[in-house]
Chains A and B, each alone.
Chain A
Amino acid sequence: MVATLMRRGLSSVTSILILTSLVFAVAELTPGGPAQTILGLHTTAEAVKALNHALGLDQPIYIQYLTWWGHLLQGNLGYSLIQHQSVVAVIGQYLGNTAVLDSVSLLLAILLSLGIGIVQGANANTWISKVISVGQFFLYAMPIFWLGIVLIYIFSVTLNWLPSGGAQDLAESNFDLVTYVRHLILPTVTLTLIFTSFFSRYMGTSARLEFQQAYVTVAVAKGAAPVRIALLHVMRNAARPLVTMVGLFLPWIFAGGVVVEEVFNFPGLGYLLWQSAIQHDYPVLIVIVMIIGLLTIIGNLLADIINSMLDVRVRYE
């Protein structure tokens, strides 16, 4: 296991290097630049040149890249060119919200998918399974932003039960957990429904196959309760593909979060990623991409480890 982890760690570093290099290269090739964004239409070529020089953006791309890595190794993630704060400060204001939103949504989606998938698998070829399939396809086909807008219309605008956006009530000076949770509900429900529609289909198919296995027949013959069979035996085996999917799906979770954050005006990393890309805020953009890359790598690694725990036939040296 240790050797596996070390090999994976080495390949992860290589992946991160390639990823950040690509982002730097693409950012350089994209027309425009942060200086023009900062100075606007009223500026002159001389001013753009001066600001590029002040920001070190007139250096060759490889110098800028090496300088960035040099700072990173010293723990300095740099300064946002547009927000005029340290990258750590900028990302810090958004990362927590995204972490909460995505992790709560993912956890709920996994729990729901496990349950729905087991029910669907246990009732294969019945009307229950068909109804669940219809629901899954309906949600799967629905654009995330549209679902979000519908939920806002129902629960905020019409019923006035929940706030339509933001992260907390702005009139309050201090953080209030209840208010924060109320603001979190609709974006979380939106993401959870979409993720569940995706994951539960895999879980349902996998569970259906597992319920057809011989060990299930034996367990039934031995008189084991159906719930016990489903939860203790089938779920463990059926969940393996789901675990793999979740690990691979992490970047997509982030992408879905971008749309939800925009619809609900929720201050998250996805929105910051989009803004920093448009505004050519390279320092922030690179770090966010690195975070996504790391999450993907960690997600895959965790999926492999969990799979090895779920299936004794899978072991890493």
Chain B
Amino acid sequence: MKRLFPAPRGVKRQDPMPRATQSRGRLFISTGALRWLLVVAALLTGTTMTAGARSAAGPQMGGTLIYAPPVPSAVDSFIPVMSTASILDDEVEVLLYRPLLWIGQHVTIEMDRSIADTISVSANNTVFTVGMRHTYAWSDGQPVTADDVAYDFNLIKTYGPKYAYYGIGGLPTLVKSFKVLSPHSFAITLTKSVNPDWFKLNGLAQLRPLPAHAWKKYSISYLFNHQTDLNVLSVVDGPYKLTKFVTGQYARFDRNPTYGGHKSYLDTYIMQFYTSEQAEFAALKTGAAQIGDLPFALYNSASQLSALKTYDVNNFQFHWIVLNYRNPATSFFREVKVRQAMQLAIDQPLMNNLLYHGHANSAYSPVPFVPDTYVSPHAKATQNASHFDLARANAMLDADGWKMVNGVRQKNGQKLSWTLQLLGSQTDVKQGAILQQDFAKIGVDLKLQNIPISTLFAEFGHKGTEWDGISIFWIYYPNFDPIGAGIFDTTGGANFGSFSDPRMDALINKAQVTPGLEGVYAYQDYASQVVPCLYLDQPTIIAKYQPNVHGITDFFNPVYAYSPEYLWLSH
């Protein structure tokens, strides 16, 4: 089991060592005879005191736990491939249908928790041969085999571009063939040589065995219309079985006793969906939910939850302002100096303090800093340097020919003025106000506009010129290897602002084909330098949980592969 990742900088986190362990520690030091007795007892029982999440009594089986995901939350589907591009759908699917490769706390593949136990790559990095464990079985007793993975792959191919993650990681667009070699092994041949780590993380990690023997009788249309049908979802290989689902209300999972991995300590795990932050807050306060989150909008009421413990969840995502390079009214976005100057005018430490109350990590590139698996040495070295410098920003714009006229800079008749669209949360609005003030100090006239999410989708889909800049979060799922493909390459599907830079394209392509981390480092450093978008700090989720809940650090995961099977309740 992987250890906890190091405490993120500037982020508060509770010491996970429970009181019983601390008490025993103090006894060990202070009482001579008792100390020796304890040593003997420890040796005899073979128990070791570790800085893990286990109490002196160890995990206890049984109980029901209710988890409230951040609002707004709702699950629409439990069938992989067909579900909406919803993180919550992905969270619940993982409980029923185990992924081939488990992405762990450091956003790396944890083979000991994966259904795959070996992956070998050909010398030319085009053939990936995967061996699967024999210990996994479906809940109806049938073994989990390579045919089940083939079924999943074929479903992706057949479903086509309607699959929300189609093309990510080259799946299935780069796949030349998928061949089942034996009941527990298969080989994928690609059309070109790739960076093996990139394909494993972004392509292979999307695959999972699906119950071919149970589902082959269903048409795709039938599966599409029965994504929450308990009869269809009755055969699973994950740690839980779905026993009840009420649309928009809750999903109830009971322990799957046939699961081939770490079996759940809990009898029942319930995911409760709340319609408002106030409703979720009240549920945490009254104990109706054992785990939830404290939204920043209600941070001032945190004292009412003082009886609960706190844990900061760092999600593998980044917070950015997409700039529209197509819009002729904001053609100044194409000037690197303008973008760099605006980035210098973003006071992330202040925002962290005022908006996120210290629960955020500063970010100056598209690669998340926590966990720092993919952070370049240069980024690590410069993380704590001053990135907020109004004097330097002004000097940069002065040197670039942008003259201050009545408080707004102008050049060749064009004003440095644009509108930032926000999704309208309280925090977004406050952040917009801070940006407005600081941008005014460098002569950028920033207007703010709230938009509903449907407008955001429409504008991004339309790829027109009706917007200037939009603030969004980008979640690295399922493209866990954050090389920027799809986001900043010229033809990228998620390149909403149509940013285009031949060097960026070359670096992203290189990261995709060259083994190792050098490619992602080079891309990241360049993205930090040329600022294709404006980077904002990355808030954590402030998780709150009841004191009798244990295993929290194993439960949460930066890529939303939550593991409730490690949660347990002390009675």
Binding site for B on A (CB under 8 A): 30-33, 36-51, 54, 79, 82-86, 90, 93-94, 149, 152-153, 156-157, 160, 163-167, 170-171, 173, 261-265, 267, 271-272, 275, 278, 280
Evaluate whether A164 and B288 lie within 8 angstroms (CB atoms) in the complex, with A36-B461, A85-B225 already known. Answer: yes
- Known contacts A42-B165, A79-B225, A85-B228; 6 further A-B pairs (Cβ under 8 A): A40-B84, A42-B164, A152-B278, A164-B282, A165-B274, A262-B276
Evaluate whether A271 and B275 lie within 8 angstroms (CB atoms) in the complex, with A32-B457, A83-B228 already known. Answer: yes
Q: What's the minimum C-beta distance from A170 to chain B, rounded to whole angstroms?
A: 5
Query: How long is the Cα–Cα vector from A274 to B275 in the complex, in angstroms?
Result: 11
Residues of B within 8 A of A49 (CB): 161
Query: How long is the Cα–Cα vector from A260 to B172 in the complex, in angstroms?
Result: 46
Q: What's the minimum C-beta distance from B139 to chain A, rounded to whole angstroms?
A: 19
| Contact assessment for B76 and A171 in the assembled complex, using a CB-CB cutoff below 8 Å | no
| Contact assessment for B161 and A84 in the assembled complex, using a CB-CB cutoff below 8 Å | no
Residues of B within 8 A of A47 (CB): 161-164, 166, 493
Q: What's the minimum C-beta distance from A235 to chain B, rounded to whole angstroms?
A: 39
Evaluate whether A90 and B247 lie within 8 angstroms (CB atoms) in the complex, with A84-B76, A165-B282 already known. Answer: yes
Query: How long is the Cα–Cα vector from A34 to B417 in the complex, in angstroms?
Result: 33
Asked whether any CB of chain A lies closer than 8 Å to the CB of B157, the reply is no
Asked whether any CB of chain A lies closer than 8 Å to the CB of B377, the reply is no
Total CB contacts across the A-B interface at under 8 A: 170
| Contact assessment for B85 and A38 in the assembled complex, using a CB-CB cutoff below 8 Å | yes
Query: How long is the Cα–Cα vector from A261 to B276 in the complex, in angstroms?
Result: 10
| Contact assessment for A263 and B248 in the assembled complex, using a CB-CB cutoff below 8 Å | no
User: Which of B228, B274, B283 interacts with A84 by CB under 8 Å?
Assistant: B228
A-B contact pairs, 5 of them (CB 8 A): A42-B85, A44-B166, A45-B461, A149-B278, A152-B278
Query: How long is the Cα–Cα vector from A84 to B84 in the complex, in angstroms?
Result: 10
Q: Of residues 230 to 286 in B, which have CB atoms within 8 Å of A's CB atoms?
A: 244, 246-250, 252, 268, 270, 272, 274-276, 278-280, 282-283, 285-286
| Contact assessment for B282 and A44 in the assembled complex, using a CB-CB cutoff below 8 Å | no
Evaluate whether A263 and B161 lie within 8 angstroms (CB atoms) in the complex, with A32-B454, A37-B454, A160-B286 already known. Answer: no
Residue of A nearest to B268 (CB): A171
Query: How long is the Cα–Cα vector from A152 to B270 in the complex, in angstroms?
Result: 23
Evaluate whether A166 and B272 lie within 8 angstroms (CB atoms) in the complex, with A43-B164, A83-B76 already known. Answer: yes
Asked whether any CB of chain A lies closer than 8 Å to the CB of B452, the reply is yes
Q: What's the minimum C-beta distance from B471 to chain A, rounded to whole angstroms?
A: 13
Asked whether any CB of chain A lies closer than 8 Å to the CB of B309, the reply is no
Residues of B within 8 A of A94 (CB): 247-248
| Contact assessment for B86 and A171 in the assembled complex, using a CB-CB cutoff below 8 Å | no
Residue of A nearest to B461 (CB): A36
Q: Of residues 451 to 496 in B, which have CB atoms within 8 Å of A's CB atoms?
A: 452-461, 463, 472, 474, 479, 486, 493-494, 496
Query: How long is the Cα–Cα vector from A45 to B463 in the complex, in angstroms?
Result: 9
| Contact assessment for B275 and A261 in the assembled complex, using a CB-CB cutoff below 8 Å | yes
Residues of A within 8 A of B246 (CB): 93, 267
| Contact assessment for B286 and A157 in the assembled complex, using a CB-CB cutoff below 8 Å | yes
Residues of A within 8 A of B494 (CB): 41-42
Evaluate whether A83 and B247 lie within 8 angstroms (CB atoms) in the complex, with A41-B494, A44-B161 already known. Answer: yes
Query: How long is the Cα–Cα vector from A41 to B160 in the complex, in angstroms?
Result: 17
Residues of A within 8 A of B85 (CB): 38-43
Residues of A within 8 A of B456 (CB): 32
Residues of A within 8 A of B249 (CB): 93, 166-167, 267
Query: How long is the Cα–Cα vector from A50 to B288 in the complex, in angstroms?
Result: 42
Most chain B beta-carbon contacts within 10 A, residue among A83, A156, A157: A83
Residue of B nearest to A167 (CB): B249
Q: What's the minimum C-beta distance from B206 to chain A, rounded to whole angstroms?
A: 11
User: Which of B161, B162, B472 interacts with A41 by CB under 8 Å?
Assistant: B472
| Contact assessment for B463 and A265 in the assembled complex, using a CB-CB cutoff below 8 Å | no
| Contact assessment for B457 and A164 in the assembled complex, using a CB-CB cutoff below 8 Å | no
User: Which of A44, A85, A171 interacts with B247 by CB under 8 Å?
Assistant: A85
| Contact assessment for A39 and B164 in the assembled complex, using a CB-CB cutoff below 8 Å | yes
Q: What's the minimum C-beta distance from A40 to chain B, rounded to whole angstroms?
A: 3
Residues of A within 8 A of B166 (CB): 43-44, 47
Residues of A within 8 A of B458 (CB): 31-33, 36
Most chain A beta-carbon contacts within 10 A, residue among B272, B457, B479: B457
Q: Of residues 189 to 231 in B, which have CB atoms within 8 Å of A's CB atoms?
A: 224-229
Query: How long is the Cα–Cα vector from A205 to B228 in the complex, in angstroms?
Result: 52
Residues of B within 8 A of A262 (CB): 275-276, 279
Evaluate whether A170 and B278 lie within 8 angstroms (CB atoms) in the complex, with A45-B461, A83-B76, A275-B248 already known. Answer: no
| Contact assessment for B288 and A41 in the assembled complex, using a CB-CB cutoff below 8 Å | no
Evaluate whether A41 and B282 lie within 8 angstroms (CB atoms) in the complex, with A93-B246, A166-B249, A265-B276 already known. Answer: no
